[in-house]
Amino acid sequence: KFEEAFQKQTHVSSKFIGERRVKSRIGSRVSLFPSVKNQGLICLESNLELAHAIALERNEDVLQYRTQAVQIFINDRHFIIPDFIIKTLNGYEVHEIKPNLNTLSEKNIARFNLAESILNSYSIKFRTFDRTNLISKQDCILLSISYQRANYKIINEIDLEKADTLIRNRNFKNKMDLYKLLNANNLDLMIADYFIFYKKTLGV
């Protein structure tokens, strides 16, 4: 099922269509995230899922990921459709995103524990996330902008190497300091966003 989910092609709209219709919840919003790793639009149900998608794009161990992509049966009649399935260098993972893991109902905890046990038997990791271990809303905005700018066009490898030499072992208070350094050396400011997003130059 996992391999089938990753082999599935995008819809005519460039979206990956999952097993469950993505819908907004109270206090959240549905969005389409243009994923470089997946080469298509990923449907997200909340800002927390957006924060997680950004983290996955930055994670060098992550090859691809999908949302609402598979049904995992926990008994003969019941199944869960996880928020994310991940294809990494070391195998598959399943990720669930919740606003607050400490407020999960006993029913949900039992379902997650059962799903984790089943997945572990197939050497698939099951992980849960909430606001406490996802990037903040403010950082999410910063990284979203840098992500879009860094992937607007292909960056010259020679310029990247030159920027790396300039940036390495330096500390920057904010992105404007980074912009100024690259501008002073006649380098495209998109390269600054590349280092902010992929190399975590600002420590975010």
pLDDT in tens, the chain (204 residues): 798 889 887 664 556 655 555 555 555 567 899 999 999 999 999 999 999 999 999 999 999 999 999 999 998 888 999 999 999 999 999 999 999 999 999 999 999 999 999 999 999 999 999 999 999 999 999 999 999 999 999 999 999 999 999 999 899 999 999 999 999 999 999 999 999 999 999 999
CB 65 within 8 A of CB 71: no
DSSP string, 46-59: SHHHHHHHHHHHH-
Structurally, the chain folds into a number of domains equal to 2
* Residues 116 and 141 reside in one and the same domain: no
CB 84 within 8 A of CB 95: yes
Contacts of 176 by beta carbon, 8 Å cutoff, 6+ apart: none
* pLDDT value of position 29: 62
* Residues 71 and 92 reside in one and the same domain: yes
The residue written with tokens 């926990």 in the block is: 74
From the DSSP assignment, how many helices (H) and strands (E) are in the chain? Answer: 7, 8
Does this model's pTM top 0.85? My answer is yes
Using alpha carbons only, give the angle 178, 52, 14 rounded to the nearest 5 degrees.
95
* pLDDT value of position 123: 97
Last residue of a domain, one of 133, 150, 182: 133
* Residues 16 and 111 reside in one and the same domain: yes
Crossing angle for the helix pair 137-150 and 47-58, to the nearest 10 degrees:
50
Last residue of a domain, one of 114, 133, 152: 133
